[in-house]
Amino acid sequence: MTYTFGLDTFGDRNAGADGRPLSHAQTIRNVAAEGVFAEQAGVDFFGIGEHHTDYFPMPAGDVVLAAIAARTERIRLGSAVTVLSSDDPVRVFQRYSTLNAISQGRAEVILGRGSSIESFPLFGYDLADYEELFEEKAALFAELLKGEPVTWSGKTRAALLHQDVVPHAESGPFPAWIGVGGNPESVIRAARLGFGLALAIIGGSPARFAGYSQLFQQALEEFGRPPLPVMVHSPGHVAASDEQAKAEFWPRWRDVISLVAAERGFSIPTEASFDRETGPHGALYVGSPETVARKIAANLPVLGATRFDLKYGVPGMTHEQLMTSIDLYGRQVIPRVRELLAAERARVTA
C-alpha cells in the first residue's frame, strides 16, 4: 500500500518576532516560500485553502500555487479546500487545469461546501441555498473532469450546450476530492460523483470517522465505481519537543478558535481540552516528530486512509516557526510514519 503525506495552509497570517501581525502581502509571500521548501523537505503535497478574512488572507490560492509550481519539480499542488458553492465550477476547473499545465501534471483540487462561509455574502450567495449550490456545482465539476464537451443545466449558473471547456489536460483528469467534516450525505455524494474522500478532522477522536470511510467504499461499490482513496486533513505543529510544540501552538490555537467559535459553533478551548486533543485519541497533531509520527501511523489504518495532510500553523505564528515545522515534518515525521506502517504490516502478515 502506498501512503502519501502533505501539508495544508489557509494562508494563516504570520506574526513577526515582536508578535505584531505581518502584512497580508508578506504572509502570502511566506506561503509561497513554504511551499517551495516543502518540496526540499520531502513532502508529497502542498495545499492552500480558500479564505477571505484578515487572519486567513488567502482568497486566490491557485495564484500562489502557480508561483510555487514554477519553482518546484516534484511536489503535488492543490486546494485545501476550494469553496465551490460560492464559485463557478467552470472557472475553478479552468484555473486548476491551468495549474496542471504549469506544473506538468501535479495539480489537485479539494472541493468544499464551505464550513467557513465568509465567501457567501462576499460574492452574493444566499446561505439558504447552501446545499443546492454545492450539489449542482459538484455534479457539473464531475462532468468537466471527463474532458469532453459538456451539456448541463441547473438553477445555479447558466446552462452549457456541447461546450468545449479549455485548457485540455495532457494526460487525463487531475485528482479531485470532496472535503467532508462529518456529513454522511456528503460522503455518499463523493462516491456517487466519483471524487476521492477528504476527511477534515479538527476535533474529537479521529476513530469516530472510520465509519465514513467504510460508508464511502460501500457507496462506491453500490454505484458501480472502483475503489477510490481516502485522505485525512487535521491541524498540528511539529517542534523539537512536545513541550515546545505545545507552547508555540496553544496560545494561537486558543485565539483563533475563540475568534471563529460563534460562527462555526465551536467551544472555546481550555488547556485541559487542548491536552485531550493533542493526546493519543485527539484530533490535533502537536508535538515532537516521534509523537506526531506515532499518532499519524496509528490513525491512518483505523480510518482506511492512504494519505495524511497536516494543516500546519495558525494565525500569529512566525514564518520561522512554520519553516521549522515543515522541515521536521518532511525530514523526520514522514520517514518515521512510513517505518512504523511498514513494521505494522510486517507484523500482521508474519
Q: For the chain, where are the E strands, in sequence order?
A: 4-9, 45-48, 76-79, 82-83, 107-112, 150-152, 160-163, 176-180, 196-200, 230-238, 285-287, 307-312
| 96 vs 103: CA distance, rounded Å | 10
Q: Beta 150-152 vs 230-238: how paired, if at all?
A: unpaired
Q: Are 110 and 80 in contact (CB under 8 A)?
A: yes
Residue 177 bridge partners (DSSP)? 110, 196
The pLDDT value recorded for residue 251 is 97
Q: Are 111 and 178 in contact (CB under 8 A)?
A: yes
| 309 vs 235: CA distance, rounded Å | 9
pTM, entire model? 0.96
Residue 234 bridge partners (DSSP)? 310
- The backbone torsions φ and ψ at residue 30, rounded to the nearest 5 degrees and listed phi first, read -65, -40
The pLDDT value recorded for residue 248 is 98
3-class DSSP state of 187: helix
Q: Would you give the distance in Å from CA 203 to the centre of its chain?
A: 15
The pLDDT value recorded for residue 266 is 79
H helix or E strand, kind and range, residue 136? helix 130-144
| 322 vs 82: CA distance, rounded Å | 23
| CA max distance for the chain | 59
Helical segments of 49-129, H only? 61-69, 89-102, 119-122
Grouped pLDDT means (10 residues each) for the chain, 350 residues: 95 96 98 98 98 95 98 98 95 98 98 85 90 96 97 96 95 94 93 98 95 97 97 98 98 93 82 96 98 98 97 97 98 98 90
Q: Cell for 250?
A: 496553544
For the chain, domains (ranges, CATH) are 4-79+179-349 (3.20.20.30)
The pLDDT value recorded for residue 93 is 98
The pLDDT value recorded for residue 202 is 93
Q: Are 245 and 314 in contact (CB under 8 A)?
A: no
- The backbone torsions φ and ψ at residue 22, rounded to the nearest 5 degrees and listed phi first, read -80, 170
DSSP states along 253-280: HHHHHHHHHHHHTPPPP-HHHHHHHHST
Q: How many helices (H) and strands (E) does the chain have?
A: 12, 12
